[in-house]
């Protein structure tokens, strides 16, 4: 089981992209990870937790991508997100 | 605890997990790996000192996987990505104590009775023992908006 409640309400009515496989899924099968470069909550499918290697590689790629996005969008000091998740 | 019992007036994420297919410490270590937020994470367990050794073991098992993958790849981009993960994982402090309010980063393991003493500024809290609905609602009111509560 995954996320059951979000600030927007019950998770059963919401979908989100998995940060690893990029598939749109119901939040109930997703797990909440870090916040992305824009400060938005990111998610990963619960199935990726069954294989540590899959999780490690998938998440490392996602984090590096978010760093790049943050760098190009907000600059080297993180801009207005300087205090936020990735920095 | 039914979701209808949870007050909806404060924005937060609540996640339900089960460690059926792996150990609890492995599941928490994997979940912590995906959180990677600066700040404090709390794990509520019955026996923090015993659980911490298990959690550290699983954390270092994931770190070994990261380092193994880094050693086996020739792609510079992938090496950079895995290097970052490895450095992050080695920097995370873990302790079986109530964190000092001045602590800005780390994973802290506490008992349910120590829950009232935890600082409100945390990004994730893992609850592995049954708590009364009243205690949970108090906790939900105490934690910052958009933080995550993981219930086992």
Beta pairing, strands B106-110 & B40-44:
parallel
Confidence tier at A85 by pLDDT (50, 70, 90): very low
Chain-chain contact of A63 with B36 (C-beta, under 8 angstroms): yes
| pTM > 0.90: yes or no | no
- Distance, in Å, from the CA atom of B66 to the CA atom of B63, rounded to the nearest integer, reads 5
A73 to chain B nearest CA, in Å? 19
Which residue carries 């990677």 as its tokens?
B36
Cα B51 off chain centre by: 13
Report the alpha-carbon distance of residue B136 to residue A64 in Å, rounded: 35
Of A1, A33, A53, the CB nearest to B65: A53
Tokens (6 digits) for A83? 């205090």
- In chain B, the number of structural domains is 1
Residue B124 has pLDDT above 60, yes or no: yes
Asked if the structure places residue B125 within a domain, the reply is yes
Instruction: Examine the pLDDT at A72 and tell me if it is beyond 90.
Output: no
Mean pLDDT of chain B, nearest integer = 88
Measure CA B114 to chain center: 16
pLDDT (0 to 100) of residue A87: 38
Rounded to an integer, the average pLDDT of B61-75 is 95
pLDDT band at B12 (very low <50, low <70, confident <90, very high): confident
Strand partners, A24: A17
Residue B61, pLDDT > 80, answer yes
Is A9 in Cβ contact with B66 (below 8 Å)? no
> Is the predicted pLDDT of residue B4 greater than 50, yes or no?
no
For position B10, what pLDDT does the model report?
58
Which residues neighbour B142 within 8 Å (Cβ) at sequence distance 6 or greater?
A: B120
**CATH number of the domain that B67 lies in?**
3.40.50
**Which chain A residue's Cα is nearest to B15?**
A3
Residue B1 lies in a domain: no
CB contact under 8 A, B69 and A53: yes
Could you report the predicted ipTM of this complex, rounded to two decimals?
A: 0.84
Cα dihedral B64, A22, B12, B14 sign: negative
In a domain, B4, yes or no: no
pLDDT digits (tens, 9 = 90+) for A1-55: 788 888 777 777 889 999 999 999 999 999 999 988 888 899 999 999 999 999 9
- B62 pLDDT higher than 80: yes
Residue B2 lies in a domain: no
């Amino acid at each position: 089981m995954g996320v059951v409640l979000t600030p927007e309400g019950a998770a059963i009515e919401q979908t989100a992209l998995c940060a690893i496989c990029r598939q749109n899924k119901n939040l109930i099968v997703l797990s909440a990870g870090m916040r992305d470069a824009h400060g938005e909550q990111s998610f990963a499918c619960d199935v990726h937790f069954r294989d540590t290697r899959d999780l490690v590689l998938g998440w490392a790629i996602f984090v590096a991508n978010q760093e790049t996005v943050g760098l190009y969008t907000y600059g080297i000091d993180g801009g207005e997100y300087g205090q936020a998740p990735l920095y | 605890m039914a979701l209808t019992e949870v007050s909806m007036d404060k924005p937060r994420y609540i996640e339900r997990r089960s460690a059926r297919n792996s150990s609890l410490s492995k599941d928490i270590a994997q979940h912590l790996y995906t959180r990677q937020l600066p700040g404090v994470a709390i794990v509520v367990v019955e026996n923090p000192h015993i659980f911490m050794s298990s959690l550290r073991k699983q954390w270092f098992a994931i770190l070994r996987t990261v380092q193994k993958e880094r050693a086996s790849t020739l792609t510079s981009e992938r090496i950079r990505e895995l290097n970052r993960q490895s450095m992050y994982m080695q920097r995370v402090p873990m302790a079986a104590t109530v964190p000092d309010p001045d602590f800005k980063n780390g994973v802290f393991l506490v008992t349910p009775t120590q829950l009232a003493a935890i600082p409100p500024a945390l990004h994730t809290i893992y609850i592995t023992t049954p708590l009364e609905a009243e205690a949970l609602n108090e906790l939900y009111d105490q934690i910052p908006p958009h933080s995550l509560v993981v219930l086992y």
